[in-house]
Chains A and B, each alone.
Chain A
């Protein structure tokens, strides 16, 4: 028998094309049509004035006295850009945080490319020391006090340290809470519930206002360090709960399988349970990291100037009064860029670790 392949027919003309798409998606019913029109009207109300303000009527260069246009005055950002990025970090040492950033990317690149364990260990342990030395000083580099750090630099330092340190602590707490040993379980639960039950602002206040009262005056405990410790402890509690959620989603069979291989506790966790649990918690973990990144702005209530607080501070310069709006718009864009890239990165991780047999 001979089979004739029949060419697929083109879709009927009333089910394709732009008009059909519009009909199907935007005007499928009266209610939808009304909503569509309202949404377009809203966009029409918002977007043209916004573009006008941000781009067409904006002042991009020149001095403050020469402003003639009504739109955004981006010269403020230009003038204070170095403060937004570095705070009061001495200008001649800007290369140090810059170098630290470049090194970070280099390290990550090597870390992911190499298969040599020793190189990985070396990178893992030398990284914090090198970065700290570069940014804060030591080993012959001039010491830069932390109260001079600010802006994006401070935001990144606090967020990165908070994220990196809180992650292992969080995992241990999660394992502790899921443990069979009553004392460890109780302690972990108390810790988690305590830090989750207290607002971050309270913890920052405690660390900056109350703690110094208990120390003798000779002992100067760095304010930034105190804040970072507070944030890390706080974040660890949240990570713990996220990871615990992942642990609970692992079928009991996996635990039993690990046990039947006679794996000791840490190995069964490290090789069987945690890789799966962490994988399913990626979206939530990244979610809480993103919220930590944004929570760093709370540092402003203890007098540390992160990116957002820097806007408030720089717009009190009596020569540049009244430029808050431009500053806040700029900062919003920076935050968006960071948070969006974090969320995209999480997406690639999810795809990479996806082992589902689909």
Chain B
């Protein structure tokens, strides 16, 4: 026990000292000429390489936005794929500058790991996929159901909580990967499949008959996913945070990658401040005054990124839902650039 404590103490000590050492992330990134961005090693719609080997996805766009803000060039990113277990150490050790790996913002992670969440670029939550044959309209009718689930995820705990709270019984069939759980569901070994809603849509699109199943409206957990940076470097924290906010404000103000050039010359003071025609948001962020202009020109606004990667015209077919702008009834709310 003493030995374990010693090791833990040692790891904690090194973690703390390393986090204290980091301050000039921005200078490091500029000196390197490239942003090191930690992403998931393959998650449909969030970070996955296409057939030409180019990384694409919502998280990937987050990385590109930060690169565009810093360098004015969204291509200056090195994508480092990380497993769920490695991700925080990679950030703590300085191997990456930003972690955009569909990471859920929780109190423990935000406080005890020496990390900061710089916003939420996707509001996810655990949901249920059921076969239409079952004729179920709500998750509350699922008493006695058998559930396909991926082993070792928080989904398992959420599921137990939800069914206990509602006094229902269930039986689980655990699988190692989501592809296996999909096959279990398809072959009828379970009535429902549970996972984060964004994943459910991906799994649904892979069914032989995608229309034979339906995602239930209930979301039983909160999974705000967002970019993460190290604690103790507020300059860098601000850059990542405002890169996301700039994309939100651009959507709200109707600035897109196509019209950004024209908009920059327009009269709207809010747009002028955002695109650096007036005000000094860029200077205060230690960036070029065209930081947001570059993000929008190279990556696009939040809505563009969403529709391109996970939206209704992609195989994933995810509706904006919680990720719509606040004025459209969603949760994405960008503080003003002022």
Contact = CB atoms under 8 A, between A and B. Distances in A.
A270 to B, nearest CB: 43
Interface in B306-334: 309-310, 314-316
A213 B44 contact: no
Nearest to B52: A91
Q: Decide if the interface of chain A is mainly helix, strand, loop or mixed.
A: helix
Interface string A316-344: 11111110100000000000000000000
Contact of B78 (A145, A300, A309): A145
Contacts of B53: 82-83, 88, 91
A71 interface: no
B11 interface: yes
Contacts of B85: 205, 209, 301
Interface string A176-220: 000000000000000000000000000001001110111111001
Given A213-B93, A217-B22, A316 B44 contact: yes
B221 interface: no
Residue among B56, B90, B309, B310 having the largest count of chain A Cβ atoms under 10 Å = B90
Interface residues of B, number: 43
B80 A303 contact: yes
Contacts of A37: none
A147 B78 contact: yes
Contacts of B94: 212, 217
B49 A88 contact: yes
Interface stretch (B13-21, B124-132, B250-258): B13-21
Interface string B61-100: 0000000000000000010111101100110111100000
A212 B95 contact: yes
Interface in B190-247: 202, 205-206
A305 B89 contact: no
B15 A213 contact: yes
Contacts of A316: 42-44, 48
A250 interface: no
Contacts of B182: 322
Contacts of A145: 78
B130 to A, nearest CB: 19
Contacts of A216: 21
Residue among B14, B45, B56, B94 having the largest count of chain A Cβ atoms under 10 Å = B94
Given A303-B83, A317-B44, 9 more contacts: A82-B53, A145-B78, A217-B28, A300-B41, A309-B41, A317-B49, A317-B51, A318-B315, A321-B44
